[in-house]
Amino acid sequence: MGKAKKTRKFAEVKRMINPKDMRLKQNQKKEADAKAKKETQEVRHVEREATSMFFKYNTALGPPYHVIVDTNFINFALQNKLELVRAMMDCLYAKCIPCITDCVLAELEKLGPKYRIALRVARDPRFERLPCAHKGTYADDCIVQRIMQHRCYIVATCDKDLKRRIRKVAGVPIMSINAHKFSIERLPDAFGK
């Protein structure tokens, strides 16, 4: 008698429908409402392209070129015995104004006495200082934010991660060091020569 009673109770429980089952009308209604609410909240966000962009060419670029210099670019230029301003002019065949942000200077100061020559080069009066208004001293975020706002800069860097981030921004050329000289990528032929 005990075994049959247990089996009957189990069968009764098994025949009951789960309150979360989708066959119930109230659950179907809740899911439809949630789906409709999600669709209304989903706003399609499309980045506005800069007005200086003409197809893939950036018309805001032109001599004299403003070149934002990164920390590692200064270090590699010194290791390759390249004078920054002269090598930039040799690469671009035009006047160049190297720009350096407060974050890059702060990074160079943090690196200590080993990079004192790079810091002295960065404090050269020919370099234009770009003040930063944000918190922290992470130069990569600062540079990417600045080129997103104003597409009139060329970015000089040897950092692979920063290059990858900059390539996602249309119309911003990248200067790097290849074979002991500066090279530029993504600069349209009409502007570069």
Q: What residues contact 8, with CB distance under 8 A and at least 6 apart?
A: none
Question: Do 24 and 105 share a domain, yes or no?
Answer: no
In a domain, 78, yes or no: yes
Is the domain of 25 the same as that of 65? no
Mean pLDDT (the chain, rounded): 86
Query: Do 9 and 57 fall within a single domain?
Result: no
- Residues 40-95: tens digit of each pLDDT: 777 666 667 777 776 667 888 888 999 999 999 999 999 999 999 999 999 999 99
Q: 86 and 31 share a domain?
A: no
* pLDDT for residue 192: 45
Same-domain check for residues 80 and 132 = yes
Please report whether residue 97 resides in a domain: yes
| 35 and 61 share one domain | no
- Are residues 19 and 64 located together in one domain of the fold? no
Q: Which residues pair with 58 in a beta bridge?
A: 53
Report the number of distinct structural domains present in the chain: 2
21: domain range?
2-41
- 147 in Cβ contact with 68 (< 8 Å): yes
* Predicted model pTM: 0.71
One pLDDT digit (tens) per residue for the chain, 193 residues:
566 666 666 566 666 777 777 778 788 888 899 988 888 777 666 667 777 776 667 888 888 999 999 999 999 999 999 999 999 999 999 999 999 999 999 999 999 999 999 999 999 999 999 999 888 878 999 999 999 988 899 999 999 999 999 999 888 999 999 999 999 998 776 554 4
